[in-house]
Amino acid sequence: MKSIFDKSIREQLNERVERINQNNKAEWGEMNVFQMLKHNTYWNGWILGKDNHTYKQTFMGKIFGKIALSKMIKDEKPFDKNIPTSEQFKAKELDGDVESEKLKWITLIQEYENYSNPSFVHDFFGKMTKEQISILVYKQLTII
């Protein structure tokens, strides 16, 4: 299974991020290019433990989270497009500096080399193993 903790995978993902430009057509849902970048920098910062996030699993996540997680990371199949996202991950700004946001995202991707966030609890999936996180992050980033 591919993992964000694999250096060659991080390099491939960084190359994909570098190719993103303002003229890309949205293939990831309703967000424009800048919103997609902002969503991913915030999401990765959340996983990595940046910016003093509060981690708490939702009630529905406590009921269905582990089942959903096992289905989502069981194989190499990419995530479905247009999966709903939690409100906290929706970018409010409609536009901004695409190049700056790309650099921020690339930096965050590199930080997975030394991943350590023992307090992380996914808002739906709950407490996750490092291996589960590595696969989830990889699959999240391959949507671009």
Does 68 reside within a domain?
yes
Does 25 reside within a domain?
no
Q: Which domain holds residue 110?
A: 7-19+30-141
pLDDT of residue 111 exceeding 80:
yes
| Number of structural domains the chain divides into | 1
| Higher-confidence position of 108 and 53 | 108
Does 60 reside within a domain?
yes
pLDDT value for 42? 93
Q: Map residue 69 onto helix, strand or coil.
A: helix
Does 62 reside within a domain?
yes
Yes or no: say if 10 and 137 are a contact pair by the CB < 8 Å rule: no
Does 93 reside within a domain?
yes
Does 123 reside within a domain?
yes
Does 24 reside within a domain?
no
Does 84 reside within a domain?
yes
What whole-number distance in Å separates Cα of residue 136 and Cα of residue 83?
Answer: 14
Query: How open is the CA angle 76-80-84, to the nearest 5 degrees?
Result: 130
Q: What is the 3-state secondary structure (H, E, C) of 32-50?
A: CHHHHHHHHHHHHHHHHCC
pLDDT value for 51? 83
